[in-house]
Structure 1
Amino acid sequence: MRAWLRDTAGGLSATYWYLWTGLLINKVGGFAVLFLSLYLTSQRGAGTAQAGLIVGTYGIGGLLGTLAGGVLTDRWGRRRTLLVSHFATVAALCLLAFNTQLAVIAALCALLGVAQSMAAPAFVAAIIDVTPADKRSRAFNLQFWALNLGLAGASLLAGLLAQWSYQALFLIDAGCTLATGVLIAWKVPETLRTLPPPSLSPSRSPLPSPLPSPWPSLVSSSAQKLRRGGGLGTVLTDRIFLVFVGLTLLQALIYTQASTIVPLAMHADGLSPSAYGSVVALGGALIVLGQLFVPRLIDGRRKARVLALALLLNGAGFAVLALADHVALYLTAAVIWTVGSMLAAPPNAEINSELAPLALRGRYQAVFFLTFPAASFLAPSLGGAGLQYLGDAHWLVVGALGAVAAVLHLSAGPSRERRVAAIRSDTAAIANVS
């Protein structure tokens, strides 16, 4: 057992573990968004569709925050972006705790989306910076494990706290976010590396040479682009990456049902907030117990095939809810969609890191992480209306979406693999010339 733990968690830097700890603290206290739809319907008198739209403003803010976070991650650095994000989130949560008007709450949800989403590109870029390529799958698997370990604790505590005080949910969330900000300020150094332009490298040689610059012969044109960098336009014209982002959006739209539409469905079935907390906690517990074993199950298998299976399971889990009207069947469905998410997490994060060139890591992470606030807007906005007008058939539509995403992953896999191989070759050439 000790050797297994050493193989699973060993070889990662102290900075990685401080980042990991910050993610865990944040997630344990991440009550606000998890129970926001229930708060709006049970405490503020919002209807199902109206609650979905208000929660959707969080996703709109997240779109802006993710883009800003990606640009700032490359310009300001990872550490400063993380600090601004966390302290701004504390302010937004405290304001939400003491406001009761729906219009103000919607505006604050958008502000919270901006502040919280800024951190995602910086966190992942910092993890990539401090983790060798051969250890990133392990690092991202542990990251996903930490997020769900925190989610399991948060959902259990929040289910109890919601029956006592929704205001406490916001304030405890703010306190945990503040603790993470302090930890980053204290222990996490700046990890951004600045590369010199290609033209400077040959001039550093102490020996004159009549030979032409080695850049054209040793490094491909795409590698030179990787070193020079670029803007968001470079990312937005990378078709292979954008296809992957689009498929991740489909995955996020499916999985976000668990935190946005499932609580509304359970409320409509007459189930309590603590029952929903149990469903979320079960998923988190499964991940806590089993996620560390996932790499052994998927190592050596094509990532596209693993993701296709994962999306099928995600969709199937939610499709089961078309028959659900009591807690036991909701718990069964949660097991199915959670297994899919467990399988998807390592290859999804690893592909994302492999497709991101060194000089543009922040921007690539920003565009990738746009999928999550986009899903935070689209899932409750469309899902709330779908549940209201389609009823249980809504869950069959979600299941079909999972099947479509699985087929598309299998189709896109070969081109992704060729692109990853090219980026690795170009990055190695840059390192050799440097």
Structure 2
Amino acid sequence: MKNLYRSYLESFSGLRKEIWLLSFITLINRAGTMVIPFLSLYLTKNRGFSPGEVGWILTFFGLGSVTGSYLGGKLTDKIGHYKTMAGSLILSSILFVLLQFPNDFWTICLGIYLVMTVADIFRPAVFVAISAYSKPENRTRSVTLIRLAINLGFSAGPALGGFIIATAGYSGLFWVDGITCLLAGILLLKLLHPKRSVPETETEIDNPASAFKDNLYLIFIAVMVIFGFIFIQYFSTMPLYYSDHHHLSEFEIGLLLGLNGLFIFLFEMPLIKFMENRKYSSITYVILGTILTGISFLVINLTGWTGILVVGMFLVTIGEMIAFPFSNSFALNRSDGKKRGSYMALYSIAFSISHIFGHNTGMQLIDNFGFTFTWNTMFAFAVLACILLVILKNLLRKEASAT
């Protein structure tokens, strides 16, 4: 047990203080974003929208995410990651509070769009910050630590969110989201001054190579769109399944979603540390993570036993723990000596595109064909993503042998 504990601590060693500070700020921010997992329930139960209407509303969630990711990349290049992240957090705090007040369909769509535009300006800036603060050999673990903070926040957030709904109603969620975003912005301004960052080399900034001319990277981005399309179902359509099919309360749904963050907090960093020492490529690990995520949808169709939901959550969490850090690491490493901004912006936009089509498509599938068909469809998409990744792996091997 002592050796296991020492090994766990060693998996965190070698990371710079700035990465730890960034992780702490991210933790505070993500612990407050408890509106997002409950958004579909809020719109159906509190606002009275149908699943089909919710799907269209969440399309604006994705459109805002694309806009924010694009603007975040532009602003990061223009004013730096520090000011971009701080501005995003502080302005988001105001918009999250205001989001509770729109009532009709189009004002809610506009509100969701504005919130996500401002909130996702943060994302490309974080990627640039990770690149600036971490050594190349520690990038995967640096990304993993940021994800650990995100998921630790998600572990506490949904559970606390369910409690807030039960005691103070949905309105309380928006106020807590706003306050925590503001707190995260203040901490960023106080703790993470830009002088702490390490400037990128001129070759990384000025080299004309762009992600949009890298055909193999574009295949990878297509896979990330598909993977994101599948994964986001756990935060839009899946809560409806928990509620409608298994009759779980908001508090119980919050606890179940919180297991995701708890599993990640306990196991992701040691798992990544272990896998980094193996001889397999990042793409191989992304394949493994993708198929496990797909299987998580398949197993919940096998039985009506509510306990199977925990099994599905465990499988998707393992898949997420493997796929996200190694896909992010692949993107960062692929961008070395090239236009890093375009590579990381495109990586962020991939998941924004998933939000545009994933939420709406999932809701429409459920509305027209039911949950069972929808979960089988998600598994089929996971298989398609794995096929594309195998093709990409072979092309990367040929590229390496040609150079």
TM-score of the aligned structures, taking structure 1 as reference length: 0.85
CA distance in 2, matches of 1:43, 1:151: 22
How far apart are the structure 1 equivalents of 2:293 and 2:43? Answer: 27
Name which of 173, 193, 196 aligns with 2:199: 193
Where do residues 265-284 of structure 1 align in structure 2 (5 Å cutoff)? 265-269=241-245, 270-284=247-261
Contact 1:61 1:114 in 2 (8 A): yes
**Match in the other structure for 1:247:** 223
Higher Cα Rg: structure 1 or 2? 1
Once the two structures are TM-superposed, the CA of residue 297 in structure 1 deviates from its matched residue by 3.9
Among candidates 280, 283, 287, match of residue 308 of structure 1: 287
Q: Secondary structure at the match of 1:91?
A: helix
Separation in 2 of the partners of 1:362 and 1:111? 23
**Residue 327 (structure 2) aligns with:** 348
1:294 maps to which of 267, 271, 278:
271
Does structure 1 retain, via aligned residues, the 8 Å contact 2:155–2:261? yes
- Compare 280-289 and 151-160 and name the one that shifted more: 280-289
Amino acid at match of 2:383: A
Do 1:251 and 1:402's aligned partners in 2 also have CA atoms closer than 8 Å?
yes
1-side partners of 2:86 and 2:375: how far apart? 39
Instruction: Evaluate the alpha carbon distance shift between residue 227 and residue 74 of structure 1 in structure 2; reply closer, same or farther with a 3 A threshold.
Output: closer
> Who is 2:102 aligned against?
99
Flag structure 2 segments of 5+ consecutive residues without an equivalent: none
Structure 1 CA distance for aligned equivalents of residues 238 and 79 of structure 2: 39
Query: Does the 8 A contact of 1:152 with 1:283 survive in 2?
Result: yes
Amino acid aligned to 1:146: A
Contact 1:265 1:387 in 2 (8 A): no
Which one of the candidate residues 75, 79, 82 is aligned to 1:79? 82
Match of 1:261 among 215, 224, 237: 237
Which residue, out of 353, 358, 376, partners 1:396? Answer: 376
Out of 14, 18, 22, the position equivalent to 1:15 is 18
CA drift at 1:230: 4.7
TM-score, length-normalised on structure 2? 0.91
Q: Which residue of 1 aligns with 2:171?
A: 167
User: Quick one: structure 1 residues 3 and 335, their matched pair in 2 at CA, closer, same or farther if it must change by over 3 Å?
Assistant: closer
Q: How does 1:132-151 map to 2 (within 5 A)?
A: 132-151=135-154
Aligned residues: 393
Structure 2 CA distance, aligned partners of 1:193 and 1:415?
33
| Change in 2 beyond 3 A, CA 1:108/1:100 | same
**Equivalent pair of 2:236/2:359 in contact (CA under 8 Å):** yes
**34-43 or 264-273, larger mean C-alpha shift:** 264-273
Q: How much has 1:244 moved relative to structure 2?
A: 1.2
The one of 292, 314, 317 equivalent to 1:338 is 317
- 5+ residue gaps in structure 1? 197-223, 426-434
Compared CA separation, residues 293 and 417, structure 1 to 2 (3 A)? farther
SS at match of 1:369: helix
Q: After the TM superposition, which of the residue ranges 309-318 and 234-243 deviates more from structure 2?
A: 234-243
Q: Which residue of 2 aligns with 1:213?
A: none
User: Structure 1 residues 403, 286: closer, same or farther in 2, change over 3 A?
Assistant: same
Structure 2 residue corresponding to 1:157, chosen from 150, 154, 160: 160
Equivalences for 1:119-130 in 2 at 5 Å?
119-130=122-133
1:289 shift after superposition: 1.5
User: What's 2:181 paired with?
Assistant: 177
What residue is the counterpart of 1:228 in the other structure? 206
- Render the CA deviation track for 1:74-119: whole Å, top value 9, x for unaligned: 2211111111211221121011123333321211100011011111
Cα deviation, residue 361, structure 1: 2.3
Cα offset for 1:194? 6.1
**CA 1:39 to 1:12, structure 2 compared with 1: closer, same or farther past 3 Å?**
same
Distance of 2:260 and 2:290 partners within structure 1:
16
In the alignment, is residue 108 of structure 1 matched against residue 111 of structure 2? yes
- TM-superposed CA distance for 1:3, in Å, is 4.1
Aligned partners of 1:104 and 1:140: how far apart in 2? Answer: 36
Secondary structure of residue in 2 paired with 1:9: coil
2:193 counterpart SS class: coil
Deviation at 1:417, TM superposition (A): 6.2
Which residue is equivalent to 1:328? 307
